[in-house]
Structure 1
Amino acid sequence: MKTDRRSVIIGSALAGVALFAGGTLSAIMDVADARADPSPEALAQAGPLGDVVLGSDQAPVTIVEYASLTCPHCAAFATETFPQLKEKYIDTGKVKFIFREMPFDDLALAAAMVARCVPKDKFIPMVEMLFEQQKQWANQNARQELFNIAKLSGMTQTQFDECLKNEEIAKGLIDTSQRATKEFGVDSTPTFFVNGKILKGNRPLADFEALIKEAAPT
């Protein structure tokens, strides 16, 4: 998913409320000049809400993904390539994988907020389901479809409604997006950093393998 005119349009802290009330609250965030290959140390700094991490902390290679839950290319990566990457490299202790939300529209922000509101052990399954069912919930009747998915984690209607009013979560997601754009030059999703080396778009496993082997030759 590309940004328009090198601007990132994301919702304000009340985007969840505005979105489902028919509102159009949004903020435009100017994009600073991209930095090539940020340091792994800079990338390792988690955002206000903390990081979602898979794999061993002792893994020699760290992959950071910035993704938007309404991005079809992100969904394709999540359903097609990620399972291979997880089985071959994450589950075997060779790669630590960090998933970071990069909502480029109000609906993506709302979905990311809902995922952050479920119990931590259900976050990854929730994100996987959001990507798998993206065509259903990201089109018509978004509120109801999002709630239908959230219910599977045990979330009640009241919890769902309160989640979409949670300014702390919304601001945390926005802060992470702003930093990715301004410091790391992330202007499209999915964007990956493999030990600091940038890789953009829904790429095949072979492209990741090349950078993994470069970072940690065996």
Structure 2
Amino acid sequence: MNARTPETADTPSVSRRTFGARLALTAVVAATLGLAACGDAGTGSADSAGGNPALAVEHPLGDITLGDPNAPVTLVEYASFTCGHCAAFHTVNLPPLKEKYIETGKVFYIFREYPLDPVATAASMLTRCVSPDRYLQFADVLFARQQQWAFSEDPRAALEAIARQGGISSGQFEACMTDQAVLDGLREVQRHAQEDLQVQATPTIFVGTEKINGNLPWPALEEIITNQLPG
């Protein structure tokens, strides 16, 4: 499988039936190959001499974060809202990560959008419409309900329904879907990730100095985190 660049300009007019079928096929192929990432996972490791390389450039829209910025380890996740392995990370790995490491001040968590397709781009733009203190909460809702909207015949209508439940009106939803500044910001984040960090799949996770291509079982991820902690 090859990594895909988001077809962001076409977000409002995507053929939803075709897109849902393509996403489902991608998930089946990934499962068959035993992959833990969406897209082309590739290989690679972070530059251990320079700390977490994902922190070299600030997010133009502002990072979505959780925890203490002064924590000894920073974990940066690049994710696509239509990626099943990203949904698994958020539903399986993120809860113990929060409880054991983020809430205890050991890990600072940063979520960055890396949309693999127009539907994921629309979801990323929608997330940026809620208040900043609700960004991550809304992202978790989208991942938890991924099967209900990303794989539906009309993902855009399904996203709008979720938006209404979150207090976003139809007019606000349309404004979100056509916000050029947000779209440009998302594109810039992905460009930097692709060109400078060699991010080719989702999730790609940077834990301190280590780069992880794909989602790991919690015990394996926890071992990497503890190895990065001082002492």
Give the structure-2-normalised TM-score: 0.82
Q: 1:201 to 1:35 in 2, by over 3 A?
A: closer
| Matched ranges for 1:1-218 at <5 A | 4=2, 7-12=3-8, 14-19=9-14, 36-38=45-47, 39-40=50-51, 42-44=53-55, 45-139=57-151, 140-218=153-231
The Cα shift of 1:152 comes to: 2.3
Q: 1:19 to 1:99 in 2, by over 3 A?
A: same
Q: Is the 8 A contact 1:191 1:199 kept in 2?
A: yes
How big is each residue's C-alpha offset from its partner over 1:173-208, in whole Å with a ceiling of 9 and x where there is no partner? 111011111111111111101112011222122222
Q: 1:125 to 1:113 in 2, by over 3 A?
A: same
Q: How large is the Cα RMSD of the aligned pairs?
A: 2.2
Q: Name the count of aligned residue pairs.
A: 205
The Cα shift of 1:134 comes to: 0.5
Q: Which ranges in structure 1 are unaligned for 5 or more consecutive residues?
A: 25-30
CA distance in 1 between counterparts of 2:217 and 2:92 reads: 9
SS in 2 for 1:70: coil
Q: 1:209 to 1:21 in 2, by over 3 A?
A: closer
Q: 1:138 to 1:101 in 2, by over 3 A?
A: same
Higher helix share: 2
Q: Which ranges in structure 2 are unaligned for 5 or more consecutive residues?
A: 20-39
Residue 31 of structure 2 aligns with which residue?
A: none
Q: 1:34 to 1:76 in 2, by over 3 A?
A: closer
The Cα shift of 1:67 comes to: 0.3
Amino acid at match of 1:212: I
Q: Is the 8 A contact 2:160 2:170 kept in 1?
A: yes
The Cα shift of 1:35 comes to: 6.4
Give the structure-1-normalised TM-score: 0.86
Q: Is the 8 A contact 1:69 1:112 kept in 2?
A: yes
